[in-house]
Amino acid sequence: MIKFIEKDPYAPIQYAYEVSRILYRKKSPFQEIMVFENPFFGRIMVLDGVVQITQRDEFFYHEMLAHVVLAAHPAPKSVVVIGGGDGGTVREVLKHRSVEKVYFIEIDKEVIEVSRKYFPTVAVGMNDKRVEIKCMDGAEFVKSRKADIDVVIVDSTDIVGFAKTLFTKKFFRSIRECLTENGMVVTLSESLHFHKELVVEVQKTLQSVFPVVDLYTAPIATYAGNWWTFSIGSRGLDPRVIRNTGRIKTKYYSPDIHKNSFLPGDMYDRLLSGKMGW
Amino acid sequence: MIKFIEKDPYAPIQYAYEVSRILYRKKSPFQEIMVFENPFFGRIMVLDGVVQITQRDEFFYHEMLAHVVLAAHPAPKSVVVIGGGDGGTVREVLKHRSVEKVYFIEIDKEVIEVSRKYFPTVAVGMNDKRVEIKCMDGAEFVKSRKADIDVVIVDSTDIVGFAKTLFTKKFFRSIRECLTENGMVVTLSESLHFHKELVVEVQKTLQSVFPVVDLYTAPIATYAGNWWTFSIGSRGLDPRVIRNTGRIKTKYYSPDIHKNSFLPGDMYDRLLSGKMGW
C-alpha cells in the first residue's frame, strides 16, 4: 500500500493517508503543490507536505471559517478573503445574499488553477461576478484599502514559513484600518490540542489591536490536532451574537453550532492565563 | 527516528507517534499490551496496536465518559465501570461524593497491573475502599444484578473483536434490568468523522432498549477520527439536564461543556436519518 505521511514539523502525531493515485505534483514559486486520491477522503490537496483540503471534509473548515463572522455581522457587503486559493471560503461567503463584493487575494495563482481543475465543487464560486481575484500579498492589499471592508477572512496555510506575516500585529493593524465600524476579522489559529501556545499568541496579538477578541473551535479530522481554533478580532460587535439571520445552506454550521463552538468563559480565561492544566 | 504507526483497520488516517522508549510489551490472554514513551504525550498504552490512553490527554476521554451521566443523575450511589482497566474512569467516578460503591469490571487483569505500574496517576483510585475490582466479563456481571445500579459506564476498546458483545441489544437489555429507576448507561461510540454508520448503529440499538437515548461528543486527539462520540441510554431522565450539582475538579469537563457537547437537535435528526450530507 502506498502511503502519504504528512510532513508537519510541529505536529506530535503524523497522519498517514493511503494514496490511490497521484494526480498533480509541481513546485510553484511559493510551494510544492500536490493532489492525490484517497479511498475515503477523495481528492486531497497538499501544500509543502501538509494537507490543505480533502473533497470529503473541506466543508467543516470552510463553513466554520466563513459563517461565524458573516452571521455575527448585521449585513456584510464587502468581504476580503486572504489566501484560501482553493476557493472553498469564497464559495461559502457567496452564500450570503448581503454580500456584494468579494476580494479574493491569493498570492499563489497556481493553487487557484489546480483547484479549478481538480476541485471544481470547491472552486465553484470563482467565476461569480461579485468576486475579484487578485494574485498578490494579502498584507499589501489590506494596506491599500481604507475603512470600506466589512469582513476580512484570513485563510492561510499554517503559521510557519511565508504565511507568518499574516499573524503579526502590523498585519492586524492594517486590517483594523481597512474595516468599517462593525467590521471583523477571522483567522485560523491552529489546534488547542497540539499548539495551545500558538493559539494564545494569536489571541494576544489580536487583543493588542482590537477591542473585542474571541475564539471558537471546530473538529477537523484532517488538520493536525484536529480541535481546530479560529480567532476573531472585532471593532466592537460581540461575535457570539447572530445578527445576520439570512438563511444559508450548510452541512455543519448552524446557529446552534455557532453558539456552542465558542470556548466557555472559564476555559477561555484559563487558556489565556496559561492555566489549562495540560 | 523510531515511529509507532497505529494499526486500526477501520481508520482512514493512520496516526504515527515518535517512540522514545518501549517500557512494556507482552501478550495477555486477551490482547497485546504495550507501553511506550513519546516526547509530547508522555507514556502511551496500546492494546492490540491501538492507542488507549496517553499521560498527557487521557483526562479528556475519562472526564467526558464519566461526568456527563454522573452529573445528569440526581445522586448516583452505585456505579458499574465495565472495561477501562487503566482506572481513569474509576478515578473520575470517585470524584462524586454521592458515590458509595464502584464495581470495576475489567476482563484483563494484566491491563490493571500495567496501569498500576506505568500510569500511577491514572490508576490512583483503584485502592479506594469504595472500589470493588472484579476480573470478569462485564456482560456476565450486569446479568447478576437486579435494579440496584444507578449508572453503568462502558469503557471498552473499539467496537471490534471481543469488545463487540458490549454493543449488542442483549447486553443493553441486561444493563436496563440492572439499573434503578433513574438509571443511565453511557458507552463510547466511535468517531463522527470516521465511523458515522457505527455511531448510528449504537444509537439505534440503544433506542430499541431505552426510552431516552442521546449523543454527545468531545475532541480527542489520540483516538482515530477524534470527533469522538458517547452514547447514553436512560430509563427516563434527560441527560442534557444537570441535576447533581456537587463540585468536582476537572480540566475539560464543566457544566458549559456538558450542555455544548450534545449534538444540536437538527444535526442529530439528520444523523439518525442518514442525511448528514457527507
The per-residue pLDDT for range A140-164, each reduced to its tens digit, is 999 999 999 999 999 998 887 767 8
Domain ranges of chain B: 3-54, 58-272
* Active site (catalytic) residues of B: 155
Q: Which long-range contacts (CB under 8 A, 24 or more apart) does B123-130 make?
A: B123/B86, B123/B87, B123/B91, B124/B87, B124/B91, B125/B87, B125/B90, B125/B91, B125/B93, B125/B94, B126/B87, B126/B90, B128/B90, B128/B94, B128/B102, B130/B94, B130/B99, B130/B100, B130/B101, B130/B102
ipTM for the complex shown: 0.95
How far away is chain A from the Cα of B247, in angstroms, using its nearest Cα?
A: 15
Topology, domain B58-272:
Rossmann fold (3.40.50)
Q: What does pLDDT average to over chain A?
A: 96
Q: What is the pLDDT along chain B (278 residues), one digit of tens a residue?
A: 899 999 887 899 999 999 999 999 999 999 999 999 999 999 999 999 999 999 999 999 999 999 999 999 999 999 999 999 999 999 999 999 999 999 999 999 999 999 999 999 999 999 999 999 999 999 999 999 999 999 999 999 888 776 788 999 999 999 999 999 999 999 999 999 999 999 999 999 999 999 999 999 999 999 999 999 999 999 999 999 999 988 999 999 999 999 999 999 999 999 999 999 88
Q: Do B12 and A219 touch (CB under 8 A)?
A: no
- Is B254 part of the contact surface with chain A (CB cutoff 8 Å)? yes
- Is B229 part of the contact surface with chain A (CB cutoff 8 Å)? no
**B176 SS3 class:** helix
Q: Where are the alpha helices (DSSP H) in chain A?
A: 58-72, 88-93, 109-118, 138-143, 169-178, 196-207, 255-261, 265-272
Q: In this complex, which of B14, B18, B226 lies closest to A221 when CB atoms are compared?
A: B226
- Is A85 part of the contact surface with chain B (CB cutoff 8 Å)? no
- Is A231 part of the contact surface with chain B (CB cutoff 8 Å)? no
CATH of B3-54, one of 2.30.140.10, 3.90.1200.10, 3.40.1440.10, 3.40.50.300: 2.30.140.10
Q: Do B57 and A14 touch (CB under 8 A)?
A: no
As given in the structure block, the three cell numbers for residue A26 are 509541481
Which chain A residues have a beta carbon less than 8 Å from that of B276? 251
Which 14-53 residues of chain A touch chain B by CB within 8 A?
14-18, 38-41
As given in the structure block, the three cell numbers for residue A171 are 498585519
As given in the structure block, the three cell numbers for residue A103 are 476580494
